[in-house]
Amino acid sequence: MTWWRDAVVYQVYPRSFQDSDGDGVGDIRGITRRLDEVAALGVDALWLSPMYPSPLADGGYDITDFTGVDPSLGTLDDLAELVAGTHRRGMRLLLDLVPNHTSIEHPWFRAHPDRYIWAGGAANNWKAAFGGSVWTRDERAGRWYLHSFFPEQPDLDWRNPEVPAAMRDVVRTWLGRGVDGFRLDALDSLGKHPDLLDDPPAAGPPPFPDTPDAAGLERRHSRNWMPTIRPVLAALREAAGDAFLVGEVYRPTDELGPYLESLTCAFVFELLFSPWEAEAVGGALDRAAGLDGAAWVLSNHDFGRVGARIGERNQRAAAMLLLTLPGTAFLYQGDEIGLLDGPGGDPPVDRYNRDRVRHPMQWDGGRQGGFTTGTPWLPAVDPAARNVADQRADPASLWSLHRDLIALRHELRGGLELVAAEPGGLLAYRRGDVLVALNLGGDELDLPAGEPLLRTHPGPRLGPGEGAMLRG
Ligand code: GLC
């Protein structure tokens, strides 16, 4: 059962995918309605960002019932239909599991306070992911609880055996309902030093973007403390059997190894955060190519859209990069049509400025892009300029390029062998007898020799932002 080897997983942000009832919010039935369109791309699986009951302090990552469906998104029956529809089309369905925290409105917080982490005051200098201390005083309890993210998201205490037991039941419940695996949220946050030791001052910049107050600290004791994480991962793996588990670990590639002892794969954030420059991208590929379990990702619901980060000109080459790497590739909804960052909500919905990457899918050129017949919860960005219907009809579109790349991907064999990562811009690597050549620089380059299998752009040379797959 290794369907995920070299698979493509398509990330759906449920509230922004397809509204089926005109309330302006995407829902489960809407996803089911669009399954043929997703299947037409050739992807192997869908991953749904959280669709559980939630007061939406963090876009659904604050959960009040791990085995339910938020009423604004549908019902368990709707989800069963989605599972069946996905399977009927030969695809798998993954859910997002959030083991680090619940919503503060989860009944456990009052009924089982001992499932959370408490102290008499702010017990250390740890900083929350979205800024400020991880400690907040709960007036009712008269004590302080720990939250690695927003104050509305208290962290669970996995040392209380009730927590792993409850999480095991959650995993088994969903697997029993036919789900094929999980994306595991914020895993490094589970790794807290048991003595809650202070984080030391940072010796250098953080490995990945962080809040200004956390950037002065090295997150040595508040995150990624492996002795704490190992048993958690082992418990999740035990519960999941051989189901697919991809971990969100916000750490550099050389720290992913211990996680992969239990996970199927882990996101390679070094690639996502790499500057669009051949040496840097080549380095990120090289460091991750040896991992048994690289999950490649160029964007998701948290960070900037590909085109917004690296420039629209480079979108086609970025697609070729993502979809020719060995391992599991994750494609975020909208990237296949080149959706860019949007203006966000007015007033903002997300308090951490992530509305810009959560705008509705653009299915057609109508005013709301076919997403809703009502008023969307975030405005459409530019459906007339880019949408699925137009791009499906155009064999030269970005959507069609994605479809062609995914079809070809399934024929690629072997690991990744880096051939060139030149300051001038050429990034080239081999998969078996196929050479992938990408121009990440600003000047035209010679097209390497070989029989062209797929080009991002026609022409005698390899211009900036262009890519080619060549045999020989
Ligand atoms: C992960 C999610 C992000 C969420 C956070 C807390 O990083 O991707 O959206 O805010 O975890 O659950």
Residue 472: per-residue pLDDT = 87
**Residue 228 resides in a domain:** yes
Reported as a single tens digit per residue, the pLDDT across 53-82 is 999 999 999 999 999 999 999 999 999 999
**Residue 132 resides in a domain:** no
Ligand 1 close to Cβ of residue 186 (< 6 A)? yes
Residue 296 Cα to ligand 1 middle (Å): 18
Q: Among 13, 58, 267, name the best residue to mutate to test ligand 1's pocket (greatest count of ligand atoms within 8 A of Cβ).
A: 58
CB within 8 A of 191, min separation 6: which ones? 223, 224, 225, 226, 228, 229
Can you give the residue range of the structural domain that contains 288? 8-103+159-415
Reported as a single tens digit per residue, the pLDDT across 159-171 is 999 999 999 999 9
**Residue 432 resides in a domain:** no
Active-site hit among 70, 248, 270, 355? 248
Residue 60 Cα to ligand 1 middle (Å): 9
Residue 424: per-residue pLDDT = 84
- pLDDT per 10-residue tile (average), the chain, 472 residues: 92 98 98 98 98 98 98 98 98 98 98 98 97 97 98 98 98 98 98 98 95 93 98 98 98 98 98 97 96 97 96 98 98 98 97 98 98 98 98 98 97 95 95 98 97 97 98 92
For atom 12 of ligand 1, the residue with the nearest CA is: 61
Cα 326 from chain centre: 18
**Residue 110 resides in a domain:** no
CB within 8 A of 29, min separation 6: which ones? 20, 21, 74, 78, 81
**Residue 398 resides in a domain:** yes
Domain count, the chain: 1
**Residue 327 resides in a domain:** yes
Residue 1: per-residue pLDDT = 58
**Residue 434 resides in a domain:** no
- A 10 A CB-CB count for 254 gives 10
Q: Among 104, 152, 302, name the best residue to mutate to test ligand 1's pocket (greatest count of ligand atoms within 8 A of Cβ).
A: 302
139 is known as an active-site residue: no
Residue 300 is part of a domain; what is its CATH number?
3.20.20.80
What is the value of pTM for the model shown? 0.98
Ligand 1 close to Cβ of residue 98 (< 6 A)? yes
185 is known as an active-site residue: yes
**Residue 171 resides in a domain:** yes
